[in-house]
């Protein structure tokens, strides 16, 4: 039985850092343990131009201080991004994030309807410039069906733009896993919480607001499908925490904010999960190697040494309550080495 495991250049390929005071609190918690992360652009207002992107990146760098960490920046998708604009900003960003309008936190300015002809100029330019498209793939239908209802849109985009690398973000269903195999240019991120919980954990007994997220956790058979591809380190999937911090008073309240905060505890909990399934040898690929290949990136060198020793998960980080607050994990971070 492994006593230690070393993760080389751990990456979080879907991370919310927010802004202002929240940014200053949560950014160092990711930067300490990860080599880099894909940073979501759904601020208020969203990140939609070069100046905003560069300014946000500088605020992130200021917030993390001396930590060795690369923020891989994204833009909030707009259908009027043309080739000239995207070419001018290409070297500053790693992807563009598309949100259906109003489907999740700060997404009101997203895409309404999916008229491929209206999206075509931007998506063709992205294809030619090799800029990946990350998508929050949900319809506005019944909450348990939203991701499945979005799959035909993924398929239409994948077939219409075969050179466009499309990342299905935070997938939660067996149907999304199946879609991965049908199109060469479809990839996916999977969160820690969707590997651990189902809807029953969220609302099967007393409601647990700190497990409420969008997309909402699904059925046991969906979790089983996610586990299968994650634990086997399927080359088209990668870890993306979707760690989404909200102050305690907005989670433990009517109109509970959607988001699960996992950034500072993700690596130990993933080690525990992968060990339970005799798959520790696949953790490196899931948490770094696959993402490096998919995004064609070389993150800063950082070795995170995890040891088999019990950790008490904090009750809070400032005013943010993490997933499994107050519970125990059988793994902890022993040491971080920066080359």
Q: Reply yes or no: is the peptide bond before residue 215 cis, omega within 30 of 0.
A: yes
Instruction: Locate all alpha helices (DSSP H) within the chain, ordered by sequence.
Output: 20-33, 50-64, 83-89, 116-129, 146-160, 174-182, 192-196, 199-203, 220-231, 248-251, 266-276, 283-284, 290-295
Residue whose pair of structure tokens reads 């040898």 in the numeric block? 281
Q: Which residues are catalytic?
A: 242
**What CA–CA distance (Å, rounded) separates 192 from 339?**
27
Q: What does DSSP say about strands 332-337 and 311-312: parallel, antiparallel, or unpaired? A: unpaired
Rounded to the nearest angstrom, the gap between the alpha carbon of residue 306 and the centroid of all alpha carbons in its chain is: 22
Strands across the sheet with 95-98, in order?
74-76, 95-98, 133-135, 166-168, 186-190, 237-239
Going 71 to 217 to 147 to 257, the CA torsion angle's sign is negative
Strands across the sheet with 332-337, in order?
4-8, 303-307, 332-337
Question: Per the structure block, which two tokens stand in for 78?
Answer: 């707009």
- Nearest alpha carbon to residue 210 among 271, 138, 135, 265: 265
């Amino acid at each position: 039985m492994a006593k230690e495991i070393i993760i080389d250049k751990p990456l979080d390929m879907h991370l919310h850092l927010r802004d202002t005071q929240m940014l200053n609190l949560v950014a160092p918690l990711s930067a300490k343990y990860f080599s880099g992360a894909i940073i979501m652009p759904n601020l208020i207002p969203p990140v939609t131009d070069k100046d905003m992107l560069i300014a946000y990146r500088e605020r992130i760098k200021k917030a993390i201080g001396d930590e060795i960490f690369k923020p891989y920046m994204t833009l909030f998708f707009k259908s009027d991004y043309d080739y000239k604009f995207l070419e001018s900003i290409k070297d500053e960003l790693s992807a563009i994030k598309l949100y259906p309008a109003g489907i999740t936190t700060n997404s009101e300015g997203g895409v309404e309807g999916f008229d491929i002809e209206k999206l075509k100029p931007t998506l063709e330019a992205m294809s030619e410039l090799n800029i990946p498209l990350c998508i929050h793939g949900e319809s506005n239908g019944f909450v348990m069906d939203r991701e499945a209802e979005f799959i035909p849109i993924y398929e239409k985009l994948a077939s219409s733009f075969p050179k466009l690398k499309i990342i299905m973000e935070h997938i939660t269903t067996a149907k999304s896993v199946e879609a991965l195999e049908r199109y060469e240019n479809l990839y996916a991120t999977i969160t820690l919480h969707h590997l651990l919980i189902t809807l029953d954990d969220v609302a099967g007994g007393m409601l647990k607001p700190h497990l409420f997220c969008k997309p909402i956790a699904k059925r046991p058979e969906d979790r089983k499908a996610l586990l299968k591809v994650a634990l086997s380190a399927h080359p088209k999937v990668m870890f993306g925490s979707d760690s989404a911090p909200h102050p305690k008073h907005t989670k433990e309240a009517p109109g509970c904010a959607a988001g699960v905060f996992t950034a500072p505890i993700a690596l130990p909990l993933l080690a525990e999960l992968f060990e339970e399934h005799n798959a520790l040898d696949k953790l490196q690929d899931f948490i770094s190697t696959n993402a490096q290949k998919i995004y064609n990136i070389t993150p800063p060198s950082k070795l995170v040494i995890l040891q088999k020793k019990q950790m008490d998960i904090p009750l809070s980080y400032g005013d943010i309550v993490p997933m499994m607050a107050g519970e125990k994990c059988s793994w902890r971070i022993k040491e971080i080495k920066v080359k």
